Chains A and B, each alone.
Chain A
Amino acid sequence: MRGVVLVLLVSCALLGGCWDRTEVNDLAIITAAAVDKAGKDEIDLSIQVFIPKEVGGGGLGVPTGSSTRELTTVLSGKGINIADAMSKVQAKLSRKVFWGHCKIYLFGEEIAREGIADHIDFLVRHPEPRNRAYLYISKGKAVETLGIESVLERSTAEALREYASLHIGMPVTLIDFRNMLKSEAQAVAIPYIQEGNKLKDKEQIQKNTPLLGTAIFKKDKLAGVLTSKATRGLLWLRNEITRASISVDLPEGQGLVSVVPIRATTKLIPRIANGKWSILVKIDTEGDIVENATKLNMMEPSSIALVQKSVNDEIKSRIRLALFHLQKEFDADAGNFAAAFHRKYPQEWEQAKPMWDALYPQIDVNIQVQAAVRRPGLISRPAGSTDEHGKAEK
């Protein structure tokens, strides 16, 4: 019995976790971090810190939670790398910084051109930052994005995180970045967002979309930016398309039809024949019609066939656009053709690997799209058509 009591007493002393005890109110919770180039060999690290405040504690007439009070604040520090800059930022804070809730990492365009792998190293080596945090490249200075207020969300960090989970652009997490950088292609794609001071006031937010396209990296250095339209092509290539509406202008000037793909799969089939490297991009997709501004009745198989053909061409042209930039301009294999070749032709790949940069722009790409329009939506004829009424009813 005495032994049991002794054990219990000793455990009481130990279970407090004396050394690594951390209280929430000793932590400064980072919600987003931005890294910019400050000067020669210096970076500027800015963190958005959550300001804890009483929630719903206004019972005694104390005005809490008023809309003017900010929820986050931004602190910056200069240093030779993230760890160094972090210690400068820490000196400005009364609480210990905590990375565990940081879900957004922003990098300025300038630093991206010089390479970000060294800075990413801190984030993947340190045990606190999360693997699933999203990366963004910002036009101009990344820190400006941290300062802006979000209309719907608590902070820009939260807004960008929700944005990534909508899959409009190409969400890239820390772990994705790490894996892409280590992959055979050594090309990385990260979403590219509008610079912060263009999204400051309400009017600007209403006018501008935050997402501008995709930043393409060769190794860890920014090579160029794909437009939103070309980004779609890249998403098709990478088999990552989840939400997209494809509007096609039907031939013979009949008007626009929009199709939303429900399912889409992309296969890359590499081929080496007579020393010539080519790749077949095979896409299977099916979707529904969501808008029909033509005079066609979408219950007629012939008009569906027409739409399907146009959709095929549209997808092809998007991919061609993305490939044009990737192959001819940036020479960055963001579609990861390298892995496809490595998997199918390991021997040839081993030989070609050192000159992949020279080879990649020369690869012939054939695109085969099999689009199927399954359902016309809730109505058959276009809602507004009156003149062709009789004809359509036949």
Chain B
Amino acid sequence: MLETGKISALQMGMIIYPVLVSTAMLGGPNVMAQAARNDLWLTPFWSSLIGFLSVFIAIQLHKRFPGMTIIEQGKAIAGTVPSAIMGLLYLLVLLQVSGVIVREYADFIAIFLKETPLSVISSALIVVCAFAVKGGVEVLGRTAQVFFPMFIVPLLLMIGLVFPALDPGNLFPVLDRGLLPSIKGAITPLGWYSEVFLISYLLPVLANRPQGTKAAVWTVAGAMITMTIVNLVTLFLMGDALPNILFPIMDTARYVSIADFFENMESAVMAIWVIGAFIKVSMFYYATVLGTAQCLNLTCYQPLIWPIGFLIVLFSFWGIPSFAELGAITLIAIPAILAWSFCFWPGCLLLYAIVRGKRSKAKEVPSG
């Protein structure tokens, strides 16, 4: 067993929640508004369906193969050679996605820190994340728990402060072009929600496994509710201008002005985003490192941390010349990759396992 730590189901939820929400905190309402316009409040509901599906797949796989991550499950189901190929492909996906997340983070920060080289911004994040990953899953769980209120409170505070300026009239006309636009808007968020499948790496280390399902389902539901609220708030504030505003939440924060001096809350949004990105990148980083170690049958994963961190920084530059390119990638390509690797492929594995009647031979792998 590579990972010896234990986390609680609640901690798992607190790790996964920022994973789902933090990308949406940046451009989410904008992305959804482009297709869904004023029906974007319904969009998180559609996209969360894939989140629930991913949770179901991860839980079912884990029931058949307790104590195993998706990489080990792949080995048990598909055999050594096919699973090795699939595993490597899978790790490539994780690396690529981590790279894109890091780049999103760095590009956002670079809007304000113009002079700072992008590589410094992304490396700084990777260094911090590397320490968290080195500490193992327990450190990850605890940092997530500590940061969780810092993620939620500024958001709620901000919504409270712009509340008087909101115009619910922007919601109308409701669904005037039918349901289709709101479903179209759900394509990109599908990718974010399928990321919930990362619980596959956390389920084996849960101290209270029966609680795991509940925590995962609640996390997806919580992420859906958060996104719906955020979508509504930005829609009420900006109306038809929303599809043109790249960072609606930051714009909302910039709108706050209480008594002429309590202004420029965008630093709060930066804080939310930095914390969210830290947890999200740490989780992807951890999954990549652990997955690689399991794929290569190593006895410990720590030596892989720095090389993989370096690779993530490289992936954050490869093939992404500009923010516009990044936007295009994150709109379709990344969600497609995510949905494939976090929902479709595990789903196929699960079906195959069910058809062949494969289960873990040992009753329970003692972990810890």
Contact = CB atoms under 8 A, between A and B. Distances in A.
Interface stretch (A202-210, A301-309, A339-347, A373-381): A339-347
B169 A343 contact: yes
Contacts of B124: 14
A339 B173 CA distance: 9
B251 A179 contact: no
Contact of A178 (B114, B117, B241): B241
B364 interface: no
Contacts of A347: 176
B254 interface: yes
Contacts of B177: 346
Interface stretch (B74-82, B202-210, B255-263): B255-263
Interface string B253-273: 011010010011000000000
Given A179-B239, A182-B239, A182-B240, A20 B176 contact: no
B263 A132 contact: yes
Interface residues of B, number: 26
Contacts of A179: 238-241
Interface string B228-260: 000000000011110010000001001101001
Interface string A179-209: 1011110000000000000000000000000
Contacts of A346: 173, 176-177
Given A175-B255, A183-B240, A343-B172, A20 B263 contact: no
Interface in A20-63: 20
Given A179-B238, A179-B240, A132 B257 contact: yes
Nearest to A131: B254
A130 interface: yes
A175 B172 CA distance: 21
A19 B115 contact: yes
A87 interface: no
A346 B260 CA distance: 39
A181 B241 CA distance: 8
- Which secondary structure characterizes the binding site on chain A? helix
A342 B176 CA distance: 9
B275 to A, nearest CB: 18
A183 B167 CA distance: 13
Interface in A125-140: 127, 130-132
A220 to B, nearest CB: 14
A20 B173 CA distance: 45
B254 A165 contact: no
B173 A182 contact: no
B153 interface: no
A182 B244 contact: yes
A10 to B, nearest CB: 9
A158 to B, nearest CB: 11
A347 to B, nearest CB: 7
B251 A131 contact: yes
Nearest to A7: B131
Interface centre among B112, B177, B239, B264 (most CB of A within 10 A): B239
A184 B240 CA distance: 8
Contacts of A182: 239-241, 244
A20 B244 CA distance: 28
B255 A127 contact: no
Given A19-B116, A20-B114, A179-B238, A130 B173 contact: no
A33 B254 CA distance: 20
Interface of A: 14, 17-20, 100, 127, 130-132, 165, 175, 178-179, 181-184, 339, 342-344, 346-347
13 contacts: A18-B116, A19-B120, A130-B264, A131-B251, A175-B251, A179-B239, A179-B240, A181-B241, A183-B239, A343-B169, A343-B173, A344-B173, A346-B173
5 smallest CB-CB distances across A and B, nearest first, come from A346-B176, A343-B172, A19-B115, A182-B241, A346-B173
